[in-house]
Structure 1
Amino acid sequence: MQAYVVNQPGGPEALQLTTLPEPNVKPGWTRVKVLGFCINHSEIFTREGKSPSVQFPRVLGIEVVGVVDETSAPATFTSGQRVVSIMGEMGRAYDGSYAEYVLLPNEQVYPIKTNLSIASLVATPETYYTAYGIFKSLQLKATDRVLIRAATSGVGIADLNLIKAYNPKIHVAGTTRRLV
């Protein structure tokens, strides 16, 4: 399989397209064929060597959208089933999603059913996971007024969507660096 490997910390040039063997499924793990992933700031920090626990060489990537290729849990997952996964040391303690296949712990594989395009779906998991954590911490009431800083960012827009889905009467304002 093809994968982008970081052999030593550096800039974008540290990502080297390499041929690696497909990972073998082991008990408690599922192999996912990668359909897409996003690049997060934490991966940039890791690539630059600012994540002291990460050992190189490493295939980065802390989130993935894909389909089950092979699994040790056939009662839970089926071949071709669409799934997502985020974080859980993916791309840090073990190889991540910057590859054609990624091997994931079964408890970190989340089946999904959606009509979203792959492009839209790929942009969703980490963004909405972060926004949902923020949303939960707000403990909103219908009379609340919310200010979202960086409201035009992916997480800002996701927070707005979650707040309005929860209660459309909540007043929301936002800040941004640029007019849109």
Structure 2
Amino acid sequence: MTTMRAVVVDEPGGPEVLRVRDVPVPVAGPGQVLIRVHAFGLNRSELHFRRGQAATGSFPRIPGIEATGVVAADPSGALPVGTQVMTMMGGMGRTFDGGYAELVVVPAGQVVPFTSDLPWDVLGAVPEMLQTAHGTLAVGVRPQAGQTLLVRGGTSSVGLALAALGRLQGLTVLSTTRRPGRVALLQEAGAHHVLVDDGHVADQVRRLVPGGVDGAVELVGTNVIGDTLRAVRPGGTVCFTGMLSDEWAIPDFYPMDWIPNGVRLTAYSGEAADLPAPVLQAFLADVRRGRARVPVGRVYRLDDIARAHADMEAGVVGGKGVVLVRP
């Protein structure tokens, strides 16, 4: 096999710039692993890259910041051929070719092995979603069992994963959505209380938790962060993790006006090393036993990649979008 099918972006633009073509098979060198991709998840950061909005990256490029599959070659011999693995971040799909392909070469340090008999569309949804949700809680919020957690932007894939992890960690989870029709989705994911976001979530939160929640995760963006901060008690923490609104910065930011007394504001953006293999394996076991749910929205084929990006832009995926490379 000298060529493989991959999605290539030659220049920034709309979904139509995502083109499937035959390209040379990459070769793993020292310190690298070649992965045969079975599935990959779709992420908004790939949308930003495709549009030319990303701060890093170059064209032409095979995009994709994550991939799930099996080891095809490991020059070091550390990972046997056929080992199930996930990989993410580290420059994938921006500074070097990413997971939108039948095969991908990545640094060995960003390969996370696992064992599971779950279907590939479920496994393909996990890497970046779980890494972000786990890291947000473990690093950004650091909640304790029995505390309350607000997830602003709960119907995003990370928001749904946070609801599942929060419940597993003994938290009372409040999740938001702008669409009343998504309430059941959030409840199925693990949210104890669902709030329809009318722009004044802090008022709704304090009717349920008068003193304010112990922690919150901001997934919507800077346009609502002020309201999210007001939903948290003194001594509590808000972690800025996502930007679904594509609003990244706060003009004329005045901390004493924006941040309530005693409320902590943190941020999280992680790498593959921030998802320990035991954490991944434990989560997959919880899914297998029915204690957690992977929020797969829509499943696509590689040839459907332009439609998949259009659906992601339109916000109609309804969870994590996944592409099955090997149906």
TM-superposed deviation, 1:160: 1.7
Alpha carbons 1:149, 1:174 under 8 Å: kept: yes
Moved over 6 A (4+): none
- Equivalent position of 1:130 in the other structure: 132
Q: Is the 8 A contact 1:146 1:172 kept in 2?
A: yes
In 1: Cα distance, 2:148 partner to 2:42 partner:
32
Q: 1:73, 1:106 within 8 Å by CA — same for their partners in 2?
A: no
Question: In structure 1, which of residues 93, 117, 120 is the aligned counterpart of residue 119 of structure 2?
Answer: 117
Pair 1:102-2:110 in alignment: no
User: Which residue of 36, 53, 58 corresponds with 1:55?
Assistant: 58
CA distance in 1, matches of 2:146, 2:21: 55
Q: In 1, Cα distance between the equivalents of 2:152 and 2:120?
A: 28
Deviation at 1:45, TM superposition (A): 1.0
1:89 — aligned with what? Answer: 91
Larger radius of gyration: 2
Aligned 8 A contact 1:59 1:91 in 2: yes
Given candidates 154, 160, 171, the residue that maps to 2:157 is 154
Cα deviation, residue 21, structure 1: 0.9
User: Could you say which residue in structure 2 is the equivalent of 1:23?
Assistant: 26
Question: Residues 56 and 178 of structure 1: is their aligned pair in 2 closer, same or farther, counting only changes over 3 Å?
Answer: same
| Preserved CA contact (<8 Å) 1:146 1:171 | yes
| SS of residue paired to 2:162 | helix
Q: Which has the higher helix share?
A: 2
Letter in 2 for 1:8: E
User: Equivalent residue of 1:20, what SS?
Assistant: strand
2:177 corresponding residue in structure 1: 176
- Percent of aligned pairs with the same residue? 39
Q: What is the CA-CA distance between 1:52 and the residue it aligns to?
A: 4.4
Mapped partners of 2:165, 2:31: distance in 1? 33
Out of 139, 151, 162, which is 2:142 matched to? 139
Contact 1:63 1:126 in 2 (8 A): yes
**Partners of 1:128 and 1:158 within 8 A in 2:** yes
- Which residue, 67, 70, 75 being the options, matches 2:73? 70
TM-score by length of structure 1 reads 0.92
> Partner residue of 1:46?
49
- Structure 1 segments unaligned to the other structure (5+ residues): none
Assess, with a 3 A threshold, how the Cα gap between structure 1 residues 81 and 143 changes in structure 2: closer, same or farther: closer
Query: Per-residue CA shift, 1:61-102, capped at 9, x if unaligned?
Result: 10000111111121x201111100011101111100111100
Following superposition, the deviation at residue 165 of structure 1 comes to 1.3
Quote how far apart the aligned CAs of 1:152 are.
2.8
SS at match of 1:67: strand
Deviation at 1:36, TM superposition (A): 0.7
